[in-house]
Amino acid sequence: MVDIKLIEDLTTAFGPSGFEDQLVEILKNYLQDFQLEVDPMSNLYASFKDQAKKEFTIQLDAHTDEVGFMVQSINDNGTMNFVGLGGWLPTNIPAHLVAIKKKNGDLVEGITGSTPPHFMAKEDRDKALTIESMFIDVGARSRQELIEDFGIEVGAPISPLVDFNFNEEKGLLRGKAFDNRLGCACIVETMKRLKDSTDLNLNVVGAFASQEEVGMRGAKITSQRIKPDLAIVFEGSPADDLYFPKNLAQGALGQGVQIRHLDQSYIGNVDFINLAKTIACDQGIKYQSAVRRAGSTNAGAIHLSEKGVPVLVLGIPSRYVHSHYNFALVEDFEATVNLAVKVIEALDQAAIKKILKK
């Protein structure tokens, strides 16, 4: 049974790139039965306690950061200019609630604003919206009030402010940061289901990586430290079922886990993918194959580490990623965890060596 509270706690947490500390604390609470370590980049590592070391190691990856913003400067009228942390479409930003972290760690609610049509010349209304033309307003009336009373300074991190909802009847999740808090929840669920397995042929290390949205930075460190032989990357992948016909969509809600063959950061390992597909068919796990023209995951960093690491990328289709609000289905999340567990259990010496070409 999927832990909905885990998903709620992770998705509502504050954690734009470079400010993932709250996520680390939440995950540590859910992973108390595991051996944990945190590095200076706020990457979190989880491994089984008291298990005999095996010859090969598999890294389970998901990134903890979400797309967000940072205060770039403060205006005399008390509003803030800001920059993006991660990839944003400017049209997705205005007229939404955000949370700004004060210097004492508390959060302040703000609104992303832009010039209303009442104060725009007619010729300016059709011009492209830019981040530079927007601002964030917390209701302050001066620069001094914003700094002294609200406690906000240049460099303050900002994230979308969205509540969480679960429609139990439909199995529908709605919230923010499904890219990639759903992936983080997948690692937790996968490791808990494997914890009591006595015949695993690999060391399993969960790696919750920081700063993926700004260049896969955390995963460059986690893969150096773990030195995995294989890896599974979990992602909240962009759902495409609203934009393509049924037979062309490769990230549709309700069609199961997405197995990614290609994106801008990596080409999938054929043997690893074939193993996953065979297991999915044998176990009746719904899956969909994806060849992406754009986008990337931490697989881009991990597969180029050490001597080269075969990576399997498993995605939970999520609508409207890199915006404030997301939809996903519990059944796709469950399919992703089930496939990961079955793949890891099936990785015996012969399967591992085939993938590694040993």
Residue 257's DSSP bridge partners are 287
- Please say whether the beta carbons of 10 and 25 come within 8 A: no
Q: Which amino acid is at 345?
A: E
The catalytically annotated residue of 8, 20, 212, 235 is 212
The reply to whether 212 belongs to the active site is: yes
**CA–CA distance, 269 with 246 (Å, rounded to integer):** 26
Q: What is the dihedral of CA 143, 146, 148, 149, to 10 degrees?
A: 140
Locus of tokens 């979400």? 66
Maximum Cα–Cα distance across the chain: 71
**For residue 37, how many other CB atoms are within 10 A of its CB?**
11
- Cα-based distances in Å from 198 to 9, 23, 47, 48, 282: 31, 30, 15, 12, 22
CA-wise closest residue to 134 among 62, 226, 192, 71: 71
Catalytic residues: 212
